[in-house]
Amino acid sequence: MFELVGSIGDIRRSLANFNEGARSSLLVHRVTSLLVTTKNWVYDPHTSHQRCFGPSKFVGYKNMYIEQYDKIHDDLHGSETKWKIEKVVGMPFTSDTDLITKLEDWADSINPGVMNNITRSKWKFVSLL
């Protein structure tokens, strides 16, 4: 099974992998599914706008890639990654109205309009410092 992240560096690597895969993958259905179903988002203010968000259920695993995630996503658990990311970062996922617009802009750069009909109140964020 895949190993959970153990450091901020691990989270940043998986965050970069997600963003690279989301923009170049033929697995549009998997990326779209992640974008519309994710509740817990990791935000890295130290990266470019194009790479700053990732779903916790993806970036909570070390060295995860879209192609791997697509094959094994049914066996992965978002509650485990949420807990582990909170432990590594040292803070819980919380609501953050300032990040909602940033998340929508970022998602539009991957798949325009994908977040248009999503309930924004479900989103929780944790920021990497």
Percent of the chain with pLDDT over 90: 68
Count of domains in the chain? 1
In a domain, 33, yes or no: yes
Q: What is the value of pTM for the model shown?
A: 0.92
Mean pLDDT of the chain: 91
Q: What is the mean pLDDT of residues 49-57?
A: 86
Give residue 1's pLDDT.
Answer: 67
Q: Identify the bridge partners of residue 127 per DSSP, sorted by sequence position.
A: 43
Alpha helices in 1-120 (DSSP H): 8-24, 28-37, 56-59, 66-72, 78-89, 97-110
In a domain, 1, yes or no: no
Closest CA to 18 of 41, 39, 1: 41
27 pLDDT above the threshold of 80: no
111: containing domain: 8-127
2-23: pLDDT as tens digits = 899 999 999 999 999 999 888 8
In a domain, 72, yes or no: yes
Here the tokens at position 84 are 């582990």
In sequence order, the 6+-apart residues with CB closer than 8 A to the CB of 104 are: 115
Q: What is the mean pLDDT of residues 79-107?
A: 95
